[in-house]
Structure 1
Amino acid sequence: MDLIEETFLAVDPDVVSAAIREPRFTADLWPDLDLSVFMDRGRDGVRWSATGALVGSVEVWLEPYGDGVVAHTFVRADLTRRGSTTEPAQIDDWRKTAAEHQRRARHAKAVWWGVKDRLEAGRKPGEPAV
């Protein structure tokens, strides 16, 4: 599964960088994954190894843009075999993978919109970043 999700936040990149390091953020975004940081890129984001419902890597890359930041979320992982948190499943039905991809894409967008609402609180459209 290769999933890419992008959200613009009119917020200082350092604030978003701190938010993605909160345990609450990763628990909300990937509740069925066990994560281990393998590359902390500072202000630019974090990459994690993932096990659990998926095995592979997940990443949030923060790209400063205008008066805010574009948060790029990447999931590069395989569904795991039933009963295992580390062995990839053999999927014969592409629809299962497609449905899981779509479910995770919608979930990621909802989580990011929640982060956006929280971090941009009090900012009216057209006003400078918070």
Structure 2
Amino acid sequence: MPAVDIVDSTWISARPVTVAAVVAEPANWRRWWPGLELTIDEWRAEKGVRWHVGAVQSGAAVGLAGSAEVWLEPMGEGVVAHFFLRLDPAEGHTLEDRLRDRVTREYRLHTKRAFWALGDQLDPGRIDRHTSASHASVT
């Protein structure tokens, strides 16, 4: 199991092709996941994208590397944006439990806020957001 293993899902009231277009924009990746050096591993069109995460050079996640993914799953009148981030210490680096917990929380919060903001942008009239039950308290 990776040292940092984030799995999160958010339902967005928008067509998968619309959400995929926003996910495909590299400027959004840098804003959503600051500090992660993402290189496309697999472009999946309307189903999302998978990235290789190069060794992080700054911030709390320094020395971590692995993979990330946004998988877009059509559901009802919208799409569930599933986010996966799996990181391990790069060779020569270690990760203490407290730092691992901090990195996990920071990236989970960045992602949740980004996807909620994306939902607000694509469906501004909606007043509630659906999220995976394990992360319903993220604000």
Relative to the length of structure 2, the TM-score reads 0.77
Matched residue, 2:71: 61
- Return the alpha-carbon distance in structure 1 between the equivalents of residues 126 and 105 of structure 2: 31
Relative to the length of structure 1, the TM-score reads 0.82
Which 4+ runs in 1 deviate beyond 6 A? none
The partner residue of 2:86 within 67, 76, 79 is: 76
Cα offset, 1:59, TM superposition: 0.3
Unaligned runs of 5+ in 1: 81-86
Count the aligned residue pairs. 118
Secondary structure of the corresponding residue to residue 95 of structure 1: helix
Q: CA RMSD in A?
A: 1.8
Aligned-pair identity (%) = 35
Structure number with greater Rg is 1
Matched residue, 1:83: none
What is the letter of the counterpart of residue 59 of structure 1?
E
Secondary structure of the corresponding residue to residue 19 of structure 2: helix
Deviations 1:26-71 (A, max 9, x none): 0111120111111111111100001124310000000000000000
Contact residue 37 and residue 48 of structure 1 kept, 8 A:
yes
Secondary structure of the corresponding residue to residue 59 of structure 1: strand
Cα offset, 1:124, TM superposition: 4.3
Contact residue 78 and residue 88 of structure 1 kept, 8 A:
no
Unaligned runs of 5+ in 2: 57-61, 129-139
